[in-house]
Structure 1
Amino acid sequence: MHYNLAIAYWRKGRPAEAMAEFEMELALHPDHEPAKAAMTRLKAEVGGLGEEDAGWAEKPEGT
């Protein structure tokens, strides 16, 4: 549920809320690879990581 909410926030241009939801998802499901990849990509978009650090992470479909 947190993953889907994070994607919805991201699509609406609300990165802080999206990041919080990704963090909650990963606290509950630490091996959820799509959430890890999406969070890495979001961090790169908002300046949390250099693009070279997140190049492997795909942006979620539809965002």
Structure 2
Amino acid sequence: MCNLGEGLYERAMEKGMERGVEQEKRNSERKDREAALETIKEGLFFKQISRYMKLSIEAVAEIAKKNKLI
């Protein structure tokens, strides 16, 4: 492969890796929100959810508000 082709290939691979990392981060955040929502529905206190889920109390409250639970 010529140098130009190698450079294009490397940039494409880097960009693909970055996109994959970002997608995984979004998936992880979505799963965390879903888990927090389930614990809210179970009746745990926001402070407990915050501590166990590593979210701020404000973030937990926002999840509850978005789902019309408060």
User: Shared fold by TM > 0.5?
Assistant: no
Question: Normalization by structure 2: what TM-score?
Answer: 0.34
